[in-house]
Amino acid sequence: MKKANGRGANVTAAEHALVVKFAKRCLREICKKEHEIGAMFNEANQISYAEAVTWLEVKTKCRGQRSYGGARDISIDVSGYRAGRCWHGEYPTFRDDPVIGDVFADNPEVALFAKVAHEVAHHVQMRYGRSTRYLAKTWRKPHGEAFQTIYRELRRALVNPLIEEAKEAA
């Protein structure tokens, strides 16, 4: 990660470390060869995890504010996690989508993971969208096709299996 500590004054070291861990897992997943991130003209241009992780600064706060994902950083508000909230609400345009819709989990870590995946999807969209073959035409719209494609992969591979696992255990 770019900056050693983007932890807000009222965020615990453990909360910040958890967010960083989730962000790294998202980057590791989306940098896999099958996603072709950054490979506009050929496979040699594809972004590696080692490179991607150097371009992302993870900031955390606990202020009851919106989280954010941009080309250089993500900023995650952990107040819902700290309060024990086990859901993550999505935007109305895709809130009912079976893969990327609202998250209702058994534990607040899964809801936080969904929030981090959402913001990492914005980061990937803004940082690498224009240089990724299948995202190049649609990367500009904040919650549009490119974002949803990236977020769908992160949710499918990382977050949704945790939700299903909890359902099966119940």
Can you spell out the DSSP letters for 68-84?
EE-SSEEEEE-HHHHTT
In this structure, what DSSP letter does residue 60 have?
E
Task: Decide if 67 contacts 131 (C-beta within 8 A).
Answer: no
Just give the CATH number of 6-163: 3.40.390
Residue whose entry in the numeric block shows the structure tokens 């240089």: 131
Q: Cα angle vertex 95, ends 23, 109, to 5°?
A: 35
pLDDT of residue 168: 82
pLDDT tens for each residue of 14-49 = 999 999 999 999 999 999 999 999 887 667 789 999
d(CA 119, CA 113): 10
The kind and range of the H/E element at 165 are helix 160-169
pLDDT band at 140 (very low <50, low <70, confident <90, very high): very high
3-state class percentages of the chain: helix first, strand second, coil last, to nearest 5: 50, 10, 40
pLDDT tens for each residue of 61-88 = 999 999 999 999 999 999 999 999 999 9
- Entry pTM: 0.94
Spell out the domain ranges in the chain: 6-163
Residue 155: other Cβ atoms inside 10 A = 24
d(CA 170, CA 168): 5
Task: Decide if 20 contacts 120 (C-beta within 8 A).
Answer: no
